[in-house]
Structure 1
């Protein structure tokens, strides 16, 4: 008896074979506009990076790359849409560790399989988070923040717009022994709005979505969650520097296609993407948003995601993040 999984794999194989034949006979890819699905809202770091990548691929490959934001449910809505799309190269997924590393560790069940339902195309960037507070918070440095958090009654509130900011908050609580009440948001822009408005006390934004507002001094930044300082914000120390060992929360952004996408299409996209990541304008953009380049082959990206997924299993346990 043919199971649903077997039937699904057979259909995917037939589609892939047909798509490969069409690609070979029909000329260079792409021949029509390509949709890039992004699992976070406009104004988020992932959205900004996806739009920049789309512009670069459009120049290289001669077709429009159209961004479609499908925010919500920790990226699950977007991931499911891409996983069920035709594997013909005309639907791509620019996503983060949220959908491919963190969600498998946080959710008991997912309507997609990060390994089986996607074809890795290539890495794009790595980006840390920042420990940020409302502007009128009663502390100006990390030590003062920790003291205020421990003394707060009721507990401070912190927002998250993705699993990286959620993990930053929970790991900080676990490592330093204070409480904060979690307030989830659909994305970083919404959480930043409430931080600036004083409706939450703490948020963990990435520099890409928050740099402009930080320069306008709309909130305070106490520390960086990555292993090294952000070049565009050299005065802000890392959490590790400030005495919290092994505190390393860094997000990544990468491109994927639906499983079964012809290998020739994936390779063409990977070549174009890596060429773009060497372009001086793109390099300057990545540096400006406080990120670093993550250039990979498809197999390298697959291995990187697998390793990161293992790290997230440990992170969820250490931070005591409750499974959904």
Structure 2
């Protein structure tokens, strides 16, 4: 069995081929958050009546994953993320246990002798002790399910999922909730890669902070209402190049800040020796993935930043991957299947 799991800071997704119909994919997705509800008989009975699964933990009722949305109204405290700043929290035992349960729930039981799982890990992969612990913990969860984990960068996976019309050669940019991953590839092989510690959550937080979009719990503690900002972004037809109103204009400016950093990083990657030696000619395709890249006007804004950083002449086209939200996990499955094919060759050699 070959499968893939994308541990995103907003969503955790998995995909695998249907065991009975190989040309069909089965995909699962769970929100990377949990709700904490006061442990009262009334709350407990409400959850039971609505058939919402929960666990009792340290005097509270915990509802995880997709079910947390249905229980959010029972508490004035926003849902807690399973990944704090893209990292598995070391001081949050419920979050670590929930990650284990969700991993077991969305990965199929292993079958056969070769059970591989491509894994994308959130947060910075900078070789720090924190990043190593993060990767080791998530890989341990995959091993406990019976799979051998194979780490793949989000941008590499996105290129495999959507770069076939460009011979898997070009630039892939994956803008996630906490980080933005950028890679330059030639025929599917990564020449240079970089991760920026900024994503859509930073944009949402800055808007909520500036316009004081907040919620209060029963004790008077204040929290940024990021869910309200995300719902506003979905329901409101906003074009980043034609913003109307203070909140829309601020969102456009914040996107510009992120894309300025992205463009600066792309310029540095293109100027690196591995890329210059392997891709001497200009005319690279840019593939975008991640939920934040779906904003209207995103491509135009990125084009403007490329022009400012004098790299527009190196770009042939910019386009969204088909279904940008799932491009990474689908590319992870391709990565896993390619690795599976190479294993017998390595054993013979």
TM-score, normalised via structure 1 length? 0.31
- The answer to which structure has the higher strand fraction is 2
